[in-house]
Amino acid sequence: MLCSCVSQRRTSTRFLKQSVCFEIWAILIIFLLAVSQAGADEVVLVGGDALHGKIIEQSDAAIVLEHSDLGRIEISRERIKSVTLDAPSTGEGEKIEGGGWLEQRFKKIDGWSSEMKKEGWSFSADISLDNSSGNTDEQSLRVGLGAKRVLEDRRLTMDLSYFNKVSEGATTDNKASFGIARDWLKPESRWFYFLMGRFDYDEFESWQERAAGHVGPGYHLIKRDKLTVDLRAGAGARKEWGSENDDVRPEGLGGVELSWKITDRQSLNASSFIYPVLSDTDDYRTRSSMDWRFLLEKESKMSFLVGLLHEYQSIVDPDKDRNDLRIYTGIRYEF
């Protein structure tokens, strides 16, 4: 009976780990497909005729278009007047004269993000890869997505990140985290109210999954064009699964957030929070993060990124570390 329970537990853990990894990659794939494959493309020939379909291949010599009636058509560049990506059935789409496939896709993303910026949205995607070999073979990956909407009376921030590390063929890090924060702002006041939530999955923590939510007031300690510092305090609860401490626990929240545009090409974002359990002063956790971004070129949206994430939990299961530190470098694309 005991062996059966252990076997079921291990099977459930493997299934959960595979499910979380699948969900992370599914989100990334859906995100990329939504950006790069939505709508119909249009190829206008030199004689004025227009063909609509999906461009599936491009080179300096020709374009291959998948047409709904004619099938796959290869069109020489000499016969092409212009290319329109995601052309609507009526009106004009985004005209792109020449350029490679990757360049056209980035231009299309820019057009889409320009429309979203009118609604207060901004987005980012970053990736960090490291592969070392020699005395130790190690590969690490971090993928992150961010979305933010800022209006006069409200602010919404979302982040999704995934960490994975393989050392000598064995997985040593497998963590996913999704966070969301909704702020209700008062333009005439430094005070605001917030609702924050985060879900974490970590294969190597004392818990397998953890969900937490908090609500409370915030205060703009510094509010300038290039520097903002916000204070937050509130209360909520957390729930862990796969841990010896799996009951719902009421938590407090206290922390600070900093956003600093150092120069036209450098920016720094940092935050630090403490979450004490209200019913047990010995039980608390902290979460601190920082990322420094350096814009590669003034007109570019690509940046070099250095980041840090540190988490601490005072009470953990036996043989588990209280500290969890990750430092990473990579590339970020903002749109």
pLDDT tens digits for 253-287?
999 999 999 999 999 999 999 999 999 989 999 99
pLDDT at 64: 87
Lowest mean pLDDT among 23-27, 189-193, 296-300: 23-27
pLDDT digits 0-9 by tens, 85-140: 764 433 344 444 444 555 555 566 666 666 777 788 899 999 998 776 666 678 89
pLDDT digits 0-9 by tens, 27-84: 454 455 444 444 567 888 888 888 888 888 888 788 888 887 777 889 988 888 888 7
- C-alpha 100/C-alpha 115 separation (Å) is 23
pLDDT at 109: 63
pLDDT at 20: 47
Contacts (Cβ under 8 Å, ≥6 apart) of 166: 138, 139, 140, 172
Mean pLDDT on 11-38: 48
Fold of 119-334: Porin (2.40.160)
pLDDT digits 0-9 by tens, 285-297: 999 999 999 999 8
pLDDT at 134: 63
Domain segments of the chain: what residues?
Answer: 119-334
pLDDT at 243: 83
- C-alpha 288/C-alpha 275 separation (Å) is 11
What are the two backbone dihedrals, phi and then psi, of residue 180, each rounded to the nearest 5 degrees?
A: -145, 140
Bridge partners (DSSP) listed for residue 288: 272, 310
Mean pLDDT on 174-195: 96
- C-alpha 158/C-alpha 144 separation (Å) is 11
What are the two backbone dihedrals, phi and then psi, of residue 11, each rounded to the nearest 5 degrees?
A: -60, -45
pLDDT at 28: 52
Bridge partners (DSSP) listed for residue 193: 184, 217
H-run or E-run covering 33: helix 2-36
Confidence check: pLDDT of 196 > 90: yes
pLDDT at 106: 59
Give this prediction's pTM: 0.68
Among residues 226, 227, 201, 198, the alpha carbon closest in space to that of 214 is found at 198
CB 124 within 8 A of CB 145: yes
Measured on CA atoms in the order 64, 69, 71, 73, is the torsion positive or negative? negative
- C-alpha 232/C-alpha 155 separation (Å) is 14
Bridge partners (DSSP) listed for residue 326: 309
pLDDT at 253: 98
Mean pLDDT on 142-165: 94
Confidence check: pLDDT of 7 > 50: no
Q: Using CA atoms of 98, 104, 107, 113 in order, give the dihedral in degrees to the nearest 10.
A: 150
Helix, strand and coil percent figures for the chain, each rounded to 5:
15, 60, 25
CB 62 within 8 A of CB 72: no
User: In the structure encoding, which two tokens stand for residue 268, read together?
Assistant: 């720094």
Average pLDDT, whole number, for the chain? 82
